[in-house]
């Protein structure tokens, strides 16, 4: 009888473990990733190297890094280590699926709503988040969309149970720069109508900015005793140059207009996003020293008469002109996991592999001011890493491990679970007992 009881206990314990094994969780601790090729991004390639992860950071790396006692050793023979990729344009956490307003928190009402903060609406349990990180994209800028000042974007790491745990230390007020030109061949407005609309929209932008500068002066004069004025309060750090203004702008004329506007208003921290026609005015962007977050690379040319590969070549052409270029997916179909392929196409169409790789790692980290933590494999930086079996940009490459801030991610997403369940479905055609 006693034996039976023991057996039962044993069985239940085993059962409990089995259930637990089916719900994989992230794991923290001390890790030693050994025998790897390490593409550091900032300091070349280390062959047969080791990365030590302690307390969420890269505590040591190199071919002679000492393995601390008690470290979990992960043999990375034949594998490559890269920094986690950063997608500098996404809807991650804000958007679940399309064609249902209830499933999207991307766009708030109003044309001047910088006080709408993406980070407050990020759903840490969105299905897209594990799906994106198991492909090695560990960090993403999540961006509210809309008209004019559509909100405040936030950088998030793709791991955590609350938005606070995910927050990666960067925010930017989003300005969707007025589209001053014709909007494609189906735009049948006359030139006068287009000009009139453009003038009106620019006037609106100037009016808002003027108000924000006045608010800043009054706020300084009253030592912060101004009455509640949420949108102006949200613009304050941008006016004061402590927060970045992210200007979404694409057509070449609009880019030129935006460059003039930024110079005229003497705005200190500016980054351009989109910049689909940057190649047409690359020199001007370069001399203004405004960095860009461009993408998607896998996109059509913006005009019928443009060469078929202009969107593929855009990032490389801007880089060649001296612009600081980060690449983003800006995916509408929640395929932020395709970031390495956007970089790969840019690489193949003129940017070169090395620069393309930087454009999804160290360059966005620098633009967001988080390069002390992210963007390269360096001692002291956050252990936000990808371990894969080949070139990170190559399509067939399999990602084997992902670490975010030293946490080892479970390598599952709903899409991998469906694969495991349905590859050899049971029951198959007939349901035998």
The residues that touch other proteins, with contacts defined as CB under 8 A, are: 95-100, 103, 127-128, 179, 181-187, 191, 250-252, 254, 276-277, 296, 298-309, 311, 330, 332-335, 337-338, 340-341, 344-345, 347-349, 353, 391, 393-398, 414-416, 418-419, 422-423, 425, 428-429
The first and second tokens of residue 399, run together, are 């990602």
Three-class secondary structure of residue 385 per DSSP: strand
Which residues have C-beta within 8 Å of that of residue 267, sequence separation ≥ 6?
A: 238, 241, 245
* 232/339 with CB nearer other proteins: 339
* 52/399 with CB nearer other proteins: 399
Minimum distance of other proteins from residue 379's CB (angstroms): 30
Minimum distance of other proteins from residue 99's CB (angstroms): 4
d(CA 223, CA 279): 45
> CA 242, 246, 247 angle in degrees (round to 5)?
135
Distances in whole angstroms, Cα of residue 126 to Cα of each of 101, 105, 133, 411, 421:
16, 12, 12, 16, 21
* 270/347 with CB nearer other proteins: 347
* 35/111 with CB nearer other proteins: 111
* 13/418 with CB nearer other proteins: 418
Contact (Cβ atoms closer than 8 angstroms) between residue 54 and residue 30: yes
Three-class secondary structure of residue 400 per DSSP: strand
* 260/414 with CB nearer other proteins: 414
Which residues have C-beta within 8 Å of that of residue 342, sequence separation ≥ 6?
A: 295, 296, 297, 298, 327, 328, 329, 360
Minimum distance of other proteins from residue 121's CB (angstroms): 17
* 51/141 with CB nearer other proteins: 141
Minimum distance of other proteins from residue 237's CB (angstroms): 29
Minimum distance of other proteins from residue 118's CB (angstroms): 18
Minimum distance of other proteins from residue 23's CB (angstroms): 19
* 91/324 with CB nearer other proteins: 91
d(CA 38, CA 53): 14
Distances in whole angstroms, Cα of residue 400 to Cα of each of 104, 135, 264, 372, 394:
31, 9, 49, 25, 14
Which residues face 246 on adjacent strands?
174, 271
* Complete edge-to-edge strand list for the sheet that includes strand 325-327: 85-90, 137-142, 148-157, 167-176, 244-249, 270-274, 292-294, 325-327
Q: Is the dihedral of CA 368, 373, 379, 382 positive or negative?
A: negative
Minimum distance of other proteins from residue 131's CB (angstroms): 9
**Residue found under tokens 């991610």:** 409
> CA 267, 270, 271 angle in degrees (round to 5)?
165
Minimum distance of other proteins from residue 49's CB (angstroms): 25
Minimum distance of other proteins from residue 46's CB (angstroms): 23
The first and second tokens of residue 120, run together, are 């407050």
* 93/340 with CB nearer other proteins: 340
Minimum distance of other proteins from residue 402's CB (angstroms): 15
Which residues face 388 on adjacent strands?
80, 399
Contact (Cβ atoms closer than 8 angstroms) between residue 287 and residue 83: no
The first and second tokens of residue 342, run together, are 């956007």
* 158/374 with CB nearer other proteins: 158
Minimum distance of other proteins from residue 275's CB (angstroms): 12
Nearest to 149 by CA among 129, 125, 121, 177: 177
* 272/345 with CB nearer other proteins: 345
């Amino acid at each position: 009888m006693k034996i039976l009881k023991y057996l039962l206990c044993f069985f239940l314990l085993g059962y409990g473990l089995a259930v637990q094994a089916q719900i994989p969780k992230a794991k923290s601790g001390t890790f030693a990733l050994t025998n790897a090729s390490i593409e550091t991004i900032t300091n070349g390639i280390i062959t047969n190297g080791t990365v030590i992860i302690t307390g969420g950071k890269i505590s040591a790396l190199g071919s002679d890094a000492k393995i601390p006692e008690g470290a979990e050793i992960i043999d990375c023979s034949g594998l490559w280590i890269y920094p986690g990729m950063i997608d500098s344009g996404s809807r991650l956490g804000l958007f679940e699926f399309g064609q249902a307003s209830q499933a999207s928190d991307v766009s708030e009402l109003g044309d001047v709503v910088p006080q709408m903060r993406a980070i407050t609406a990020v759903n840490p349990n969105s299905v897209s988040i594990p799906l994106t990180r198991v492909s090695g994209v560990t960090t993403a800028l999540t961006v509210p969309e809309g008209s004019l000042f559509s909100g405040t974007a936030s950088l998030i790491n793709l791991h955590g149970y609350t938005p606070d745990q995910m927050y990666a230390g960067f925010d930017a007020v989003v300005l969707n720069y007025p589209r001053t030109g014709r909007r494609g061949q189906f735009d049948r407005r006359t030139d006068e109508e287009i000009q009139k609309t453009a003038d009106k929209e620019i006037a609106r932008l100037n009016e808002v900015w003027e108000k924000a500068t006045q608010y800043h002066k009054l706020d300084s004069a009253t030592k912060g005793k101004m009455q509640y004025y949420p949108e102006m309060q949200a613009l304050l750090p941008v006016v004061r140059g402590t927060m970045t203004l992210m200007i979404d702008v694409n057509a070449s004329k609009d880019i030129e207009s935006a460059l003039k506007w930024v110079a005229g208003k003497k705005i200190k921290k500016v980054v351009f996003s989109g910049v689909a026609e940057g190649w047409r005015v690359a020199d001007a962007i370069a001399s203004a020293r405004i960095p860009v977050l461009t993408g998607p690379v896998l996109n059509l040319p913006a005009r019928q008469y443009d060469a078929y590969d202009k969107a593929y070549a855009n990032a490389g052409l801007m880089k060649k002109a001296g612009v600081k270029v980060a690449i983003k997916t800006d995916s509408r179909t929640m395929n932020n996991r395709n970031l390495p392929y956007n970089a790969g196409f840019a690489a193949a169409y003129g940017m070169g592999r090395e620069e393309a790789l930087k454009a999804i790692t160290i360059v966005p980290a620098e633009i967001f001011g988080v390069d002390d933590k992210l963007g390269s494999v360096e001692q002291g930086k956050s252990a936000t890493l990808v371990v894969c079996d080949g070139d990170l940009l190559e399509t067939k490459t399999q990602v084997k491990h992902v670490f975010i801030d030293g946490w080892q991610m479970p390598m599952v997403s709903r899409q991998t679970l469906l694969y495991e369940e349905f590859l050899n479905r049971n029951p198959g055609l007939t349901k035998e007992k």
